[in-house]
Amino acid sequence: MKRIFKILVVVLALSALVQTIALAKVKTGDTTDSSKGHSDPTV
Amino acid sequence: MIQQSKLIGQINHFRADSSGWIGSVIMFIFALIAGYRWHTSGLIFFGLLLVRDLAASWFLISRKPSKEKTDLRVIELIAYLSSGFPFIYLNPHHSLPQAGLLSSILAVIGFAISTLAVFDLGRSFGVSPANRGVVRTGLYRYVRHPMYTGYVISEFGFVLLNPFNYILWVISIALYLYRSILENRVLDLPDLASSLGDGRN
């Protein structure tokens, strides 16, 4: 039983790490995209 | 004496361990807050916090009776103040560009270590120094105080977010060291200086 909970902790921690890094990359991507400005659509 | 801590144990009567019940209610409230934050923010970090606080809440009402504990209320007060010390860290200011990401990573790693340590302690878990048997399984096989080690790692993230937090971080480490020394004495373990000559106890 204890081992199951400890595995759960490790899985949650790894998931949190992946989520944190992914969110940071998305945030960096949003900042980069917004700095490019808007381009008018061509007809 | 080496004892194997069990995950499921008998719940203590309130009169037998009132401080455990009070601490358990506090940790349960923290767990509810963590659950709410997980629900509203979607950050899995709060899920990790929820598991940690629920585990601590359970172990505080099912913990083994202490064979020996500190009689001084001042020491108990210092232990609880040390536990709540992270709340006074200053907000981010003059931080480096990647400080947010690094501090989040450190927080996750640190809390994971301290949460695993809570499960390793099991029914030997407590806030103020008390002798409920020496645990030498799991992380305690490699580090004498893995819970404090995890807290130090996670709190260093605050230093990255605001350099002025460095002084608070040093004070926090000093409090953990003080608690470690007291716990070593209560558990009749050699201090770090005397144990450096012999890596294993």
* Cα distances (Å, whole numbers) of residue A33 to A9, A29, A42, B101, B121: 36, 6, 19, 19, 48
Per-residue pLDDT, A28: 74
The answer on pLDDT for B3 being more than 70 is no
Res A41: pLDDT? 43
Residues of chain A found within 8 Å of residue B105, distances taken between Cβ atoms: 17, 20-21
The helix/strand count (H/E) of chain A reads as 1, 0
Per-residue pLDDT of chain A (43 residues; tens, 9 = 90+): 788 889 999 999 999 999 989 988 887 776 555 554 444 444 3
Question: Using one digit for the tens of pLDDT, what is the confidence trace for B141-198?
Answer: 898 899 999 999 998 988 988 889 999 999 999 999 988 888 888 777 665 544 444 4
In chain B, % of residues over pLDDT 90: 20
| Contact in structure between A20 and B105 (CB atoms under 8 Å) | yes
8 Å CB contact between B63 and B132? yes
Task: List C-alpha distances in Å: B23 to A25, A36, B27, B135, B185.
Answer: 39, 53, 6, 21, 23
Do the Cβ atoms of B20 and B12 come closer than 8 Å?
Answer: yes
Q: What is the mean pLDDT of residues B128-134?
A: 76
Judged against a pLDDT cut of 70, whether residue B72 lies above it is answered with no
Min Cα separation B60/chain A (Å): 16
Q: How confident is the model at residue B4 (pLDDT cuts 50, 70, 90)?
A: very low
CA distance B139 to chain A (A): 11
* Chain-centre distance for alpha carbon B191: 20
Residue B105 has pLDDT above 70, yes or no: yes
Highest averaged pLDDT of the listed ranges B29-33, B38-42, B83-87, B121-125: B29-33
Length of chain B in residues, anyone? 201
**Does the structure show a pLDDT above 80 at B9?**
no
Q: How far apart are CA B68 and CA B70, in angstroms?
A: 7
User: Chain A: nearest CA to B105, how far in angstroms?
Assistant: 6
- Residues in chain B within 8 Å Cβ distance of A2: 7, 119, 122
pLDDT at B196: 47
Q: Tell me the one-letter amino acid at A18.
A: V
B 33-52 residues with CB below 8 A of A?
Answer: 43-45, 47-48, 51-52
B5 confidence band (pLDDT: 50, 70, 90): very low
- Asked if the Cβ–Cβ distance from B108 to A9 is below 8 Å, we say no
Q: Is A8 on the interface with B (CB under 8 A)?
A: yes
- Whose CA is closest to B98, among B176, B167, B157, B174? B157
How far off is chain A from B15, nearest CA to CA, in Å?
28
Average pLDDT, chain B: 81
Using the Cβ of B116 and the Cβ atoms of chain A, whether some distance falls under 8 Å is answered with yes
Q: Is residue B127 scored above 80 in pLDDT? A: no
